[in-house]
Amino acid sequence: MLMRFALIALLFVSVPLYAAPSGEEPEAAPGSPAAESASPPPGLDGVVFKDEGDGALPPGLEQIKSFRMKLGGEWQSEGSVRDESTALIVNPFSVRKRGKIYGSIYEYHRNDNFDARNYFDPVGKPLPEFKRNQFGVSLGASVTSRLKVFGSYDGLRVIRGSTLLSLVPTNAMKRGDFSAVTGRQLVDPFTGEPFAGNRIPQERIHPVASRLLGLFPDPNRDDPVRNYVNNQPSVENRDTISSRIDYEWSPQTKIFGTYEISDGVRRLVSALPAFGNEVDEREQDVAIDLSHSFSSNKVLSLKVGFKRFSSLQTSDQAFQEGLLDSIGIAGVGVIDPMDEGYPEMQILGYSGIGSGTGGGFASPSPESFNQNSYSFSAGYTYVSGAHTLSLGGSLNFDQYNDMKTWGTRRGQFGFSGQFTGDAFADFLLGIPYTAARGVGSDRADLRKRSWRLYLNDSWKLSPNITLTMGLTYSYSPLFHSIHDNVSFFHPLVLEAPLDGEVVVTGSDRARQLGLHLKPGHAAYDDKNDWQPSFGVAYSPFGNNRLVLRASYSVGHGSMNPFQALTYIGRNYPFFYVQKAESPVRPDLDIADPFKSAALPALSFTAADPELRNPFMQNREVALQYEFLGNWSMELKYSGRITTSFYRVVPGNVPLPAPAGEPIQPRRPNPNYGSFEILKSDATFTNNELNARVTRRLTDFFSLQADFSWGRAISDAYSWTFANPNNPRDLAAERSLWGFFPTKTFNLNYILDLPLGKDRLLSTRWAGKLGVLFEGWRISGITNIKSGTPFSPEIFGDPNNDGVWGDRPDRIGEGNLPKSKRSIDKWFETADFRIPDYGGPEGRWFGNAGRNILLSPGSTQWDISVMKRTPVTRSGNLLELRVQFFNAFNHVNFKQPGNFINSPTFGVISGAGNAREIEIALKYSF
């Protein structure tokens, strides 16, 4: 089995893999097909923790040796929607119980000596360091005929060199010398005169900038827009101990329990060497499952589970007390040594700096949380004649304690080049166009209690027709704070009125205004989540060789705790963000950027009190046909319409204005800054056609080929940032969904070579050496998908309305034919231009649509060659595997730069992993 368990779902169903626009980890919005909240998350031993968005560690390898894939269609019996193609691990332990003692020992190894070079790795130099060891041991025993025990240890040690490209300033530029920069004349923003020779005098370089210049490494590549590559390794160490006890109380009653503990430490690297992160994680899981058969047609199942997961992510500068103060920026500071580090500097076109700024695998830090989840479920199945009835329910309690995200107290500053003509020159002069800081305590403690009840009936009307009907009621409110620290501006609208005010939920003032929210709650509970489902299967000939299936179901999504955290307990006066902006004149001094950022610059992020869970309507029609005994084919249409879809919209937004007019006095309510409002007023639609051909494993060979063609459309431009092109025309945001590949092809196959003493190609001629030719298997997984759409944008706020996300004018096609694409020009950059804001046409917004460009697709062939050799007559086996990941070394490019005013516009600066070869040895007894 290939060691990419996430792809195993592709062997069973058409599970689309959704790529994030950055080419990094995929994301999903509640109510979209990729959403974790739209279908059950992966569970262990049948216990599912409905805690969307956690960072749980994967189960150990030996647990995955024996598994059953529960697909979305089966989950209606536990109250979920029917059509989701979600794979779950159920009872993932060894079933080889041939003797009283059984087990295995294994080692999987990869290193850079076997691997190909990443497309962007320097030629002629050693490959970035890569070593991956996955090892473990398992032992099980049949203590008695009714008692069985199993335990395993799994270890993982990974050192993986990175290939992270970026643009850094040259040594000359760090001294203020831009004379080598062609086509760009620097202007002194305080005099309006050009800098002589494109050189900034040394005495004009700001002291704060001088203290930070050492954080920029020297270029190490001869490339005008990708002049630095960071090959620092990411590191991951993880140890997992698992145990299970099975006990047969009686022939009718069986119980099992599991306990697992996993400790992991990860080292994440950023685009620049100074800004990595370390992540410490620990997870513990307990599950107990009791099943009792009252009779052959009556079965009761009870499940109890507990999960504890802790994660702490810190930057390399954490606990270096006094570091932030030494930089010399007034108005920023930390209250916990864990928050120490460098402020974040975003420099358009260049790699930014700051502790945990990202740009690679690292992310803003610190981030921490401690999760406790409790799960209880019960199900009862009763078969009576043509009916199979099932009913039951589940109850989940989720706690997230000590949640912290990002280091906003350290300050975030943006440099766009609008003052001098170059963003790094703006940085040298210490004149950001925007500055932000966090004030107060950002700790959050969240709670959620959710439950569901279901009743289903499968009714076999005749040998040819089966009907399925179900009804589920689900209660899944938004996470709430245990502290009385949730506030928002009332009313939360685009045009904030002058008589609006800050209201704390649950307060007397809130009730006087007609807001009857509970203390700590950001929105009213959604108590109307009824989920009916209907399905029919028709076999016209009564032999199930030809079957027509159709279904309709309703489902509801919910929000994960990290999305909810943004809108709970993160507002004035508890914790809030102050912003200072000077988009036209260089009025902000990096040494004291917040001297004018008093109450008028307060920003708010809040949820609409009337927020609703996404409402999903799913439909599916499929034709299945079995032929030639072992072959089958399926043609399927599936679709989804989601309303009450989440998105974030801006509020208190001024109308666009010419350069030079300050933003704050033009806001509808100039006493406050910008608002970001989480609403559930967007829509999402998805339609997909799928064709699949399958051959069961017989006569040494199995195959499944699957092709999907679909389209997803939504007007939800983002569920995390309020950045539409025109805040007063959200309908213009309707476009292709940016996470959905239009075409996907999946292929998996198994070929047992017909070599052996009694097989098609006899090895008797080889005598005792015949064992060398027997037991060979070739298998593989292939995934090919088209690129995902993305938008051209303008960095900053060129139309002066206080909202980012502005798009340019489109004056041509934009996308290039395949024959003309290159890593330096993936699309036609000349087909876009910055609009003439307020010009003769009086336009203030670009005409380019959202998601009109297409990122590179991807092709992945993973192939495994395995040799199984019996060692003893009792069945002990020795397995040797050689596994090729991205076997044909196809280059999978990441998304090109999309900011028109950046030198990386249209330029690709990253690629996925090149070919990796893994050698594995496993002994099973």
User: What are the start-end ranges of the H helices in 288-352?
Assistant: 323-327
Residues pairing with 306 in the sheet: 286, 374
User: What are the start-end ranges of the H helices in 175-238?
Assistant: 207-212
Residue carrying structure tokens 């179901």: 553
CA distance 54 to 755: 47
Note the pLDDT tens digit of each residue in 621-669. Answer: 999 999 998 999 999 999 999 999 999 999 999 999 998 788 889 999 9
- At residue 44, does pLDDT exceed 70? no
Residue 399 lies in a domain: yes
Mean pLDDT of the chain: 86
> CB-based burial of residue 372 (10 Å sphere; 0-12 exposed, 13-18 middle, 19+ buried)?
middle
Instruction: Assess contact for 291 and 555: CB atoms under 8 A.
Output: no
Residue 347 lies in a domain: no
Total residue length of the chain: 925
Question: Which position has the higher pLDDT, 37 or 794?
Answer: 794
Residue 413 lies in a domain: no
The residue-averaged pLDDT of 676-700 equals 94
How does residue 566 score in pLDDT terms, banded at 50, 70 and 90? Answer: confident
Return the sign of the alpha-carbon dihedral for residues 331, 336, 341, 344.
negative
Residue 178 lies in a domain: no
- At residue 247, does pLDDT exceed 60? yes
pTM for the model: 0.85
- Residue 213, CA distances (Å) to 248, 332, 352, 407, 824 in order: 68, 19, 12, 21, 28
CA distance 704 to 829: 41
Note the pLDDT tens digit of each residue in 667-683. Answer: 999 988 889 899 999 99
- Residue 108, CA distances (Å) to 156, 177, 802 in order: 9, 52, 53
CA distance 82 to 536: 12
Residue type for position 414: G
Residue 344 lies in a domain: no
**Phi, psi values for residue 393, rounded to 5°:** -170, 175
Instruction: Assess contact for 654 and 684: CB atoms under 8 A.
Output: no
Give the list of residues 6+ apart from residue 154 with CB closer than 8 angstroms, or none: 60, 61, 62, 63, 134, 135, 136, 238, 239, 240, 242
- At residue 184, does pLDDT exceed 50? yes
Highest-scoring range by mean pLDDT, 356-365, 546-555, 591-600: 546-555
- The β-bridge relationship of strands 480-481 and 444-462 is antiparallel
The one-character DSSP state at 201 is -
Residue type for position 743: K
The residue-averaged pLDDT of 762-776 equals 76
Q: What is the DSSP string of 628-690?
A: TTTEEEEEEEEEEEEEEEEEEEEESPPPP--TTS-SGGGSSSTTS--EEEEEEEEEEEEEEEE
For residue 375, give both structure tokens: 């799960």
**Distance between start and end Cα atoms, the chain:** 18
CA distance 376 to 393: 8
Instruction: Assess contact for 724 and 494: CB atoms under 8 A.
Output: no
Q: Is the peptide bond before 491 cis (omega within 30 degrees of 0)?
A: yes
**Phi, psi values for residue 280, rounded to 5°:** -110, 130
Question: Which position has the higher pLDDT, 564 or 236?
Answer: 236
- The β-bridge relationship of strands 701-714 and 755-756 is unpaired
Domain that holds residue 828: 1-169+216-316+355-407+442-565+597-925
Note the pLDDT tens digit of each residue in 189-235. Answer: 999 999 999 999 999 999 999 999 999 999 999 998 999 999 999 99
**Phi, psi values for residue 44, rounded to 5°:** -120, 125
CA distance 38 to 289: 25
Residue 888 lies in a domain: yes
- At residue 570, does pLDDT exceed 90? no
> CB-based burial of residue 768 (10 Å sphere; 0-12 exposed, 13-18 middle, 19+ buried)?
exposed
3-state secondary structure of 719: coil
Give the list of residues 6+ apart from residue 844 with CB closer than 8 angstroms, or none: 655, 656, 799, 801, 835, 837, 838
Give the dihedral of Cα atoms 394, 395, 401, 404; nearest 10 deg. 50
Residue 606 lies in a domain: yes
Instruction: Assess contact for 263 and 274: CB atoms under 8 A.
Output: no
Q: Which has the closest alpha carbon to 242: 306, 149, 159?
A: 149
Residue 261 neighbours by CB distance under 10 Å: 16
Calculate what percentage of the chain has a pLDDT beyond 70.
87
Return the sign of the alpha-carbon dihedral for residues 540, 543, 548, 553.
positive
Residue 589 lies in a domain: no
Distance of CA 840 to the CA centre of its chain: 44
Highest-scoring range by mean pLDDT, 474-478, 560-564, 835-839: 474-478
Give the list of residues 6+ apart from residue 643 with CB closer than 8 angstroms, or none: 614, 615, 683
The residue-averaged pLDDT of 327-342 equals 91
**Phi, psi values for residue 339, rounded to 5°:** -85, -5
CA distance 333 to 872: 67
How does residue 34 score in pLDDT terms, banded at 50, 70 and 90? Answer: very low
The residue-averaged pLDDT of 541-545 equals 87
For residue 571, give both structure tokens: 């507002």
Instruction: Assess contact for 449 and 397: CB atoms under 8 A.
Output: yes
CA distance 701 to 641: 39
**Number of compact structural domains in the chain:** 1
What CATH number has the domain bearing residue 689? 2.40.170.20
For residue 878, give both structure tokens: 């020795």
Calculate what percentage of the chain has a pLDDT beyond 90.
68
Return the sign of the alpha-carbon dihedral for residues 587, 588, 592, 594.
positive
CA distance 599 to 580: 11
